């Protein structure tokens, strides 16, 4: 018998307990041992949890119980869970967590502390999609060339509705909040921070790189407008917010932001609250992972898969994918050095000389125009929508500042990167 203590019996914790009960026979057959949740820790004992296990409001009841083999951490947050997980590891208990924020900041020190003690976290990235095991084990013979991921269901749902149904950002945000997809303060989701935490975990497994969220490029969907969506449709693009990782020489790009992506790409077809991750290996080529990225049962499915792995093997795979450090030392590419194509939306004075001035500014910054569309607005103004050939991030940022002060661009230019 493998005894499990669960810290945080909310939506996911409740699903873990109930799935272990409902699917007991098949789980026992696959694990080779019965997995029994024996104790759950909650902050409020008066709240009905709909579980048939003993509950406590004292975390030490799990940490100090020598009969508990596995601690499942589902409480959320960063520093408090870090303290609890460290205590569990120091007591020799295996740990399973769904906490991406914890791992975004503390994954390497926890890996070192865990040593040979199993520490698993499949549910921390993309809910029920087994992307951690796929990347860490199934693709371990490959150099990972690149990854692109839709890893936040809230922002993907909002963009899907904006594109398919013509709903404005403000209106779809309210709808998402009413449906429970978005929090009262939605910044963590719509601002790209949730996806960034997940991207850093995948980046460590793919490349062995240790960086914090503050070091990478993160932008959200708050500034996407109908004009951007109309342009994307006309030129056969979709708009998605992607977590992107690429290996360029000995440097690694890690960034989260909205992109224009060709409609025929597999990942462009991931709509609604679903998640999808494309991983390109040097030997296997492109592999694609799709499924529910959140929800009690989907996330609990991944948590229990980790517990089964621990029951089967004791020590699982190396926590972050490497038994030893890879020979090549990689570094994070500076944000300014990223190279890609760009889309610009410029509200301009609709008069002679405007286009020439814009083209001059772009040309002086080594930026060439690939496609352009002009849409008249009211009061002798127009939206000038254009895409560039591949150029360097620092050049486009400099050009945008110059355009803003040019006298012909009337409001701050909007920019979306293009991934092809």
Task: Show which residues are catalytic.
Answer: 198
- Mean pLDDT across the stretch 267-292? 97
pLDDT over 90 percentage in the chain? 90
| pLDDT one-digit tens code per residue, 281-332 | 999 999 999 999 888 999 999 999 999 999 998 766 689 988 877 677 899 9
CB 396 within 8 A of CB 416: no
Q: What is the end-to-end Cα distance of the chain in Å, rounded?
A: 51
Which of 116-120, 139-143, 317-321, 344-348 shows the lowest per-residue confidence on average (mean pLDDT)? 317-321
Count the helix, strand and coil residues of the chain and give each as a percent rounded to the nearest 5.
Answer: 40, 25, 35
Q: Enumerate domains of the chain plus CATH numbers.
A: 2-133+296-313 (3.40.50.720), 135-290+328-332 (3.30.360.10), 335-418 (3.30.70.260)
Q: How buried is 95 (Cβ within 10 angstroms: 0-12 exposed, 13-18 middle, 19+ buried)?
A: buried
| pLDDT one-digit tens code per residue, 84-111 | 999 999 999 999 999 999 999 999 999 9
Q: Which among 5, 393, 305 has a CA at the least distance from the CA of 129?
A: 305
Q: How many residues does the chain have?
A: 420
Q: How buried is 289 (Cβ within 10 angstroms: 0-12 exposed, 13-18 middle, 19+ buried)?
A: middle
pLDDT of res. 317: 67
Give Cα separations from 192 to 52, 198, 200, 318, 338 (angstroms). 37, 10, 12, 28, 18
| pLDDT one-digit tens code per residue, 157-184 | 999 999 999 999 999 999 999 988 888 8
Instruction: Return d(Cα 293, Cα 288) in angstroms, integer.
Output: 14
- Give me the DSSP letters along 294-306: SSHHHHHHHHHHH
| pLDDT one-digit tens code per residue, 325-370 | 767 789 999 999 999 999 999 999 888 899 999 999 999 999 999 9
Confidence band, pLDDT 50/70/90 cuts, at residue 379: confident
| 3-state SS class at 199 | helix
pLDDT of res. 70: 98
pLDDT top residue among 58 and 50? 58
Confidence band, pLDDT 50/70/90 cuts, at residue 260: very high
Q: Which among 414, 413, 407 has a CA at the least distance from the CA of 351?
A: 407
Looking at residue 394, the DSSP 8-state letter turns out to be H
pLDDT of res. 316: 63
Q: Show the CA angle centred on residue 396, arms to residues 394 and 398, nearest 5°.
A: 70
Q: Sheet of 94-97: strands edge to edge?
A: 54-56, 35-41, 2-7, 70-73, 94-97, 119-120
If one counts every other C-beta atom within 10 angstroms of the C-beta of residue 329, the result is: 9
H helical segments located in 23-64: 24-31, 60-63
| Per-chain mean pLDDT for the chain | 95
CB 37 within 8 A of CB 8: no
- Mean pLDDT across the stretch 382-397? 96
CB 153 within 8 A of CB 274: yes
The pLDDT of residue 197 is above 80: yes
| HSE of 120, CA atoms in CB hemisphere, 13 A | 28
**Phi/psi at 202 (5° precision):** -65, -40
Q: Which residue has tokens 């990167």? A: 417
Instruction: Return d(Cα 352, Cα 317) in angstroms, integer.
Output: 64
């Amino acid at each position: 018998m493998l005894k499990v203590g669960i810290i945080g019996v909310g939506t996911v914790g409740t699903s873990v307990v109930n799935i272990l009960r409902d699917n007991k026979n098949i789980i026992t057959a696959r694990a080779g041992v019965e997995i029994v949740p024996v104790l759950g820790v909650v902050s409020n004992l008066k709240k009905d949890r709909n579980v048939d296990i003993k509950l406590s409001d004292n975390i030490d009841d799990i940490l100090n119980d020598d009969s508990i083999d596995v601690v499942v951490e589902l409480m959320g947050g960063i520093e408090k869970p870090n303290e609890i997980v460290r205590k569990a590891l120091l007591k020799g208990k295996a740990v399973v967590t769904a906490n991406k924020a914890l791992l975004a900041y503390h994954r390497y020190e926890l890996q070192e502390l865990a040593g040979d003690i199993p520490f698993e976290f499949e549910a921390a990235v993309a809910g029920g999609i087994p992307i951690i095991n796929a990347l860490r084990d199934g693709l371990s013979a490959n150099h990972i060339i690149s990854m692109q991921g839709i890893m936040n269901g809230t922002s993907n749902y909002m963009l899907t509705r904006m594109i398919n149904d013509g709903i404005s950002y403000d209106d779809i945000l309210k709808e998402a909040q009413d449906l429970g997809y978005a929090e009262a303060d939605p910044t963590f989701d719509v601002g790209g921070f949730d996806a960034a935490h997940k991207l850093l975990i995948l980046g460590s497994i793919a490349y062995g790189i240790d960086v914090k969220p503050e070091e990478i490029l993160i932008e959200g969907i708050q500034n996407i407008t109908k004009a951007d969506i109309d342009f994307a449709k006309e030129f056969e693009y979709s708009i998605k917010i992607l977590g992107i990782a690429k290996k360029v020489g000995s440097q690694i790009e890690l960034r989260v932001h909205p992109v224009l992506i060709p409609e025929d790409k597999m990942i462009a077809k991931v709509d609604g609250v679903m998640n999808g991750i494309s991983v390109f290996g040097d030997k296997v080529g492109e592999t694609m992972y799709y499924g529910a990225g959140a929800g009690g049962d989907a996330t609990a499915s991944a948590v229990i898969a980790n517990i089964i792995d621990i029951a089967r093997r004791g020590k699982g795979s190396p926590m972050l994918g490497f038994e030893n450090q890879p020979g090549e030392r990689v570094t994070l590419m500076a944000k300014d050095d990223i190279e890609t194509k760009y889309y610009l939306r410029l509200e301009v004075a609709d008069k002679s000389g405007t286009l020439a001035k814009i083209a001059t500014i772009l040309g002086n910054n080594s930026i060439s125009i690939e496609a352009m569309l002009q849409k008249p607005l009211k009061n002798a103004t127009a939206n000038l929508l254009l895409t560039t050939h591949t150029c360097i991030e620092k050049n486009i940022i400099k050009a945008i500042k110059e355009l803003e002060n040019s006298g012909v661009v009337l409001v701050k230019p909007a920019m979306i990167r293009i991934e092809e």
